[in-house]
Structure 1
Amino acid sequence: MKNSPIIVSAPGKVHLLGEHSVVYGKPAILAAVGLRVTVTVIPSAAEGVARNDGLDKIIEPIIKKHFKIKKIPSYQLSISSQIPIGSGLGSSAAVSAAYIAALLIFLKIQWDLNLVNNLAYEAEKVFHGNPSGGDNSTVVFGGLVWFRKETPDLKIIQPLPFTIPSKLSKNFLLINTGKPKEITAEIVGIVSSKVKNQKSKFEKLFIDQEKLVRELLPALSQSNEKELIRIIRKGEKNLEAMGVCSNYVKGIIRKIENAGGAAKICGAGGKTKATGVLLCYHQDKNKLESIAKSFNLPFFSAALGVAGLKTGWQI
């Protein structure tokens, strides 16, 4: 049992609505998505074990600083992921949370979800510069999450007391437009610059996004399909006005809308071509699949509102 593997997994996430505006203190609703990252840590006697693309150089310093640890014993690390990297599905948050939890177990440090969430947020800052904290909160706690950053040190993380009714959930589809040319930190920085230079415009956009986020709650809980489609469409238009959706992806979204559905980017977006995964909705999912095929894009269904962080005996 001494060298038994420590296995931890975490889901990806989608922004149902509120990305970008959430960085500026507005609320967002996120859902843990049924694609997972699994991290395995095995104690090792060998020194200098290869640990996976330098990820240890981000995660280990966070652990060392927080717990005032000088050296972490050797271990083997393996990571497997169902989440497309750079797709807007929170792969960095998921791998950070799972890796941190696995290391805490390895080091025999008492931990809880709040601790893992706080440490994963520190990792997200390394990856993305100025993240809201919504991604890591969702992958750690799972389900549907209401998230709002009041100040850098005060965040409201409220698991929602309902799941998406099957009448709606069965009609969502994820279409992968590809990995954006721009990294998340770059897009967040572009929006930040625009906010400074076009303050009035972006204040109006952020206020409207907050209104839509609040309207999304009853639309989801009451299975109001017409209202759900309206909210997704309007929210996407606001994201486009922020300049985070390429013309190529706008064309895909307009085709979905013209067919009677709705679609939106799920993460930071992209300015040139690909924007990562689109969250799409149509009461006839076959129409969404046909549109994806017409653009030669991969698509997949994934459950929304799944469980968050899981340790080995739960996986």
Structure 2
Amino acid sequence: MTSQITVSAPGKIIISGEHAVVYGYPALICAVNLYAKVGIEITKGNLDIYPDQAKDIVLRSLKNTERFLDTKFEGLKINLNSEIPIGCGMGSSAAVSVAVATALMNHKAGKIILKHINEIAYETEKYYHVNSSGADPAISTYGGFLWYRKETTNFKVLTPLKPKINLASFIIINTGKPDENTGQMVEGVLKFYKNNPAKTEKTFQKIENITRSFLRYLLKEESVSLTELIRENERYLEELEVVSDSTKSLIKKIEKIGGAAKITGAGGRKENSGILLAYHPDKKRLVTFVREKKLTVLPAKFTSKGVKVEKNS
């Protein structure tokens, strides 16, 4: 066992497939270089977790790791520091769960097994998001780009991808933390589904078609208008009623200057809708627009890096 461990796990962006992924449809997801960082130090005292507001998720991750490894952790100081915006659709809770499970597994076993880390983090996610797709812990564990599909609760298809297209043209905009949490948004779509099953299935199918077009675009198998693809994707998400009026208004302004934007994540109905993935064929025009409107832009880039043990001593 080691005395000090530091682990980092990335946040994520959903390129396409939000909400539909919960119902067994595919999603295209990627890791971004904003990280949840967990430090563990061996002490002779009790279990200490910092900061206080992180205690619930860290403790739940710890308990799930204990059950998986059939052990008990004591005498640890666990410190969490995260760059990922909380509650905005970038997988902050999953990244914390992945980082904690990795640090504890490395502490106890001296090695990490990604498949097991993903399984532990998924159990933690299910507590916070009852109908979790499992996409967030998967991308935080493995990093890069993934084609992800939840076939059953315990069987998921994860296919790593290597895009042949430069994605530097995207800008990640934070519209602000939604009033609703992810669980409430997922529950809202479930209610919408129960009230409109045929309509919802049709929307999910249209989202799947968009997701597959994105996949072919990224692999250079299809020439498409990225602007139109993103706009169409956003319209289908609006059909699910997961985008607030203020966010719709912002998206329309981006479209008016020739660009496109979509929510990425669970969204939000009342006011803010979390993160937007924005694009313009001429990125300078989008950058100018963002500056003029004084929007919050995240300095995040797509990354191949998944969870990583940064320090082990």
TM-score under structure 1 length normalisation: 0.93
Q: Does structure 1 residue 253 correspond to structure 2 residue 251?
A: yes
Distance 1:74 1:213 in 2: 46
- Alignment partner, residue 283 of structure 2: 285
User: How much does 1:187 deviate?
Assistant: 0.4
User: How much does 1:2 deviate?
Assistant: 5.6
Matched AA of 2:144: G
User: How much does 1:59 deviate?
Assistant: 1.1
- Classify the secondary structure of the residue corresponding to 1:103: helix
- Alignment partner, residue 15 of structure 2: 16
Q: Compared with structure 1, are the counterparts of its residues 2 and 218 closer, same or farther at alpha carbon in structure 2 (3 Å cutoff)?
A: closer
Distance 2:28 2:94 in 1: 16
- Alignment partner, residue 94 of structure 2: 93
User: How much does 1:124 deviate?
Assistant: 0.8
User: How much does 1:112 deviate?
Assistant: 0.8
Q: More displaced, 107-116 or 18-27? A: 107-116
User: How much does 1:110 deviate?
Assistant: 4.9
Distance 2:113 2:273 in 1: 34
Partner of residue 64 from structure 2, selected from 59, 62, 65: 62
- Is the contact between residue 173 and residue 281 of structure 1 (CA under 8 Å) also seen in structure 2? yes
Distance 1:170 1:150 in 2: 32
Q: More displaced, 127-136 or 279-288? A: 279-288
- Classify the secondary structure of the residue corresponding to 1:72: coil
Distance 2:193 2:48 in 1: 45
Q: Compared with structure 1, are the counterparts of its residues 63 and 259 closer, same or farther at alpha carbon in structure 2 (3 Å cutoff)?
A: same
- Alignment partner, residue 184 of structure 2: 186
Distance 1:185 1:152 in 2: 17
- Is the contact between residue 165 and residue 223 of structure 1 (CA under 8 Å) also seen in structure 2? no
Distance 1:292 1:224 in 2: 30
- Alignment partner, residue 163 of structure 1: 163
Distance 2:293 2:41 in 1: 43
Distance 1:214 1:68 in 2: 41
Distance 1:79 1:243 in 2: 34
Pairing 1:167-178 to 2, within 5 Å after superposition: 169-178=167-176
User: How much does 1:109 deviate?
Assistant: 6.0
- Is the contact between residue 209 and residue 238 of structure 1 (CA under 8 Å) also seen in structure 2? yes
Matched AA of 1:79: L
List, as ranges, runs of 4+ consecutive aligned residues in structure 1 with deviation greater than 4 Å: 223-226
Distance 1:264 1:2 in 2: 44
- Classify the secondary structure of the residue corresponding to 2:225: helix
Pairing 1:129-168 to 2, within 5 Å after superposition: 129-160=130-161, 162-163=162-163, 165-166=165-166
Distance 1:178 1:163 in 2: 29
User: How much does 1:255 deviate?
Assistant: 1.0
Matched AA of 1:236: E
Partner of residue 226 from structure 2, selected from 225, 228, 232: 228
Q: Compared with structure 1, are the counterparts of its residues 164 and 247 closer, same or farther at alpha carbon in structure 2 (3 Å cutoff)?
A: farther
User: How much does 1:225 deviate?
Assistant: 7.5
Partner of residue 307 from structure 2, selected from 293, 306, 309: 309
Distance 1:223 1:277 in 2: 28
- Is the contact between residue 9 and residue 309 of structure 1 (CA under 8 Å) also seen in structure 2? yes
Q: More displaced, 260-269 or 303-312? A: 303-312
Distance 2:303 2:238 in 1: 26
User: How much does 1:313 deviate?
Assistant: 5.2
Pairing 1:28-107 to 2, within 5 Å after superposition: 28-52=27-51, 53-54=54-55, 55-69=57-71, 71-107=72-108
Q: Compared with structure 1, are the counterparts of its residues 56 and 36 closer, same or farther at alpha carbon in structure 2 (3 Å cutoff)?
A: closer
Matched AA of 1:76: K
Q: Superposition RMSD on alpha carbons, in Å?
A: 1.9
- May I ask how many residue pairs the two structures share in their alignment? 309
Matched AA of 1:244: V
Matched AA of 2:159: Q
User: How much does 1:240 deviate?
Assistant: 0.4
Q: More displaced, 303-312 or 116-125? A: 303-312
- Alignment partner, residue 215 of structure 2: 217
After superposition, the C-alpha distances for 1:7-35 in whole angstroms (9 at most, x for unaligned) are 11111100000010000010000011111
- Is the contact between residue 264 and residue 275 of structure 2 (CA under 8 Å) also seen in structure 1? yes
Unaligned runs of 5+ in 1: none
After superposition, the C-alpha distances for 1:171-225 in whole angstroms (9 at most, x for unaligned) are 1101110000000000000100111110010010011111111111121222977
- Classify the secondary structure of the residue corresponding to 2:151: strand
- Classify the secondary structure of the residue corresponding to 2:109: coil
Distance 2:258 2:220 in 1: 20
After superposition, the C-alpha distances for 1:31-90 in whole angstroms (9 at most, x for unaligned) are 111111111111111124244431332112212222332x31211111222211111111
Unaligned runs of 5+ in 2: none
- Classify the secondary structure of the residue corresponding to 1:312: strand
Matched AA of 1:284: D
User: How much does 1:239 deviate?
Assistant: 0.3
